[in-house]
Copies of this chain bind each other. A is one copy, B any other.
Amino acid sequence: MSQQAELERTVEGMPNWPGDGLTRVPYWVFQRDDVYAREQEAIFQGPVWHYLCLEADIAEGGDFVTTFVGDAPVVVTRDSEGAIHAFENRCAHRGALICLDAKGKGKKDFACVYHAWTYDLTGKLTGVAFQKGVKGKGGMPPEFKISEHGPRRLKITALHGLVFGSFSADAPDFKSWLGPEIEPKIGRVLAGRKPVVLGRYTQVLPNNWKLYVENVKDSYHASILHLFFTTFELNRLSQKGAIVVDETGGHHISYSAIDRKTNTASADYAQQKIRSDSKYRLADPSLLQGFDEFNDDVTLQILSVFPTFVLQQIQNSIAIRQVVPRGPDRTDLHWTLLGFETDTPEQRLTRLKQANLIGPAGFISMEDGCVGGFVQRGVRAASREQAILQMGGSTAESSESRVTEASIRGFWKAWRAHTGI
């Protein structure tokens, strides 16, 4: 069956999408193998940009890291001229991983361990062991041309120290991919200073990757699920703040800033009788004593680039989150915690302390780590039922209010456009 035919068949096999397309999401999208396969094809190997690593991870020629774009293992390298390359970590011969290490330095080329086919730092096949055979016997036939083979290579782009790649030649220009609103806010956090990796870990999520992405884009839950935000006024819906959703719907920014006017929030909260407005206080409040890093009073900026990249500023806790699907009900969330060369020792210590807010043990993020599993289990028998996404209306537009699911609707708008589901 042709690839195209295969695709149509796949999409056809699925139930119809309920409702108007953005305010209802059928739970089968988090459960079905065919949906997962379609996503791999249309999104992860499609004309979409995916975060690969930091430029700082491959600072020098010969440096490399391995990562994943969806299910695909990928090698990212920097060559001696300083150019960045990425290619599928799959030998052109019979498919073994070309590179077994998570990272390394001083690499000149890659030799597959199985039969020593060799690749340069660009992923180009440069050698086939015994291509001419031994003593003129065996070897590859003359019609075999090394130049015609090699792993799939990714298109590469870099911005503010972030490296993105795409398997598809049709991936749009990265700037237009991001649109006018996203790039400056990435710049706000990363531009003009040298990042230092402070830490790395992986959180294994017991749920479909899209449930985590919804969570990231979900400004509605922040003040309700996370007691820390509200109690310590890291984030109040009544603070200044807004949601930005780009034109495609796929990217978003949610931010909040200190509202120096009298804060009427408590009243609002009282009305909702939300458990998250407790009288809870810290014994060592130094945990939350931050410094004004951006001179803009913005205490929180969560930014996502479709489909699986997140850049986080929570006070002075700066981190990148890379979402990697591992199956319909399992997701790897890779955290990279950042500081900057210019950090003073006090600032650095502040970042180390605020790291307690994020990651698997994060006072905030631990809850985002389990709530996706609560949904995956909650909808187990409800593949024909639907989620309701009407908070803040039915569109996927930017809004001053963060009591909205606009950016989640935006995600589905982009996801449906890409998958055709």
Contact = CB atoms under 8 A, between A and B. Distances in A.
Given A115-B224, A238-B134, A93 B144 contact: no
A377 B133 contact: no
Contact of A382 (B90, B139, B380): B90
A137 B374 CA distance: 29
A159 interface: no
Interface residues of A, number: 87
Interface in A349-408: 367, 371, 374-375, 377-382, 384-385, 387-394, 399-404
Nearest to A236: B134
A275 interface: yes
A403 B27 contact: no
Contacts of A141: 390, 393-394
Interface string A1-19: 1010010000000011000
Interface string A105-119: 000000101111000
A239 to B, nearest CB: 10
Contacts of A293: none
A374 B96 contact: yes
Contacts of A135: 238, 264, 268
Contact of A220 (B115, B380, B387): B115
Interface stretch (A47-55, A66-74, A185-193): A66-74
A157 interface: no
Interface in A65-95: 69-73, 88-95
A69 to B, nearest CB: 8
A130 to B, nearest CB: 5
A88 B134 contact: no
A97 interface: yes
Contact of A392 (B88, B116, B138, B272): B138
A228 interface: no
Contacts of A336: none
A330 interface: no
Given A225-B113, A274-B116, A388 B149 contact: yes
A137 B389 CA distance: 16
A194 B100 CA distance: 44
A225 B381 contact: no
Contacts of A264: 135
Contacts of A96: 371, 374-375, 378
Interface in A321-359: none
Nearest to A45: B381
A378 B91 contact: yes
B129 A272 contact: yes
Nearest to A394: B141
Contact of A130 (B44, B375, B384, B403): B403
A419 to B, nearest CB: 16
Contacts of A214: 94
B134 A71 contact: no
A140 B72 contact: no
Contact of A72 (B98, B382, B401): B382
Given A94-B388, A152-B382, 16 more contacts: A73-B381, A90-B378, A90-B385, A94-B214, A95-B375, A96-B374, A96-B375, A114-B374, A130-B403, A134-B238, A134-B403, A135-B268, A137-B403, A138-B402, A138-B403, A139-B392
15 contacts: A90-B379, A95-B375, A96-B378, A114-B374, A116-B274, A129-B224, A133-B392, A134-B237, A137-B400, A137-B401, A137-B403, A138-B401, A139-B392, A139-B403, A144-B388
The 4 A-B residue pairs whose C-beta atoms are closest, nearest first, are A138-B403, A138-B401, A72-B381, A137-B401
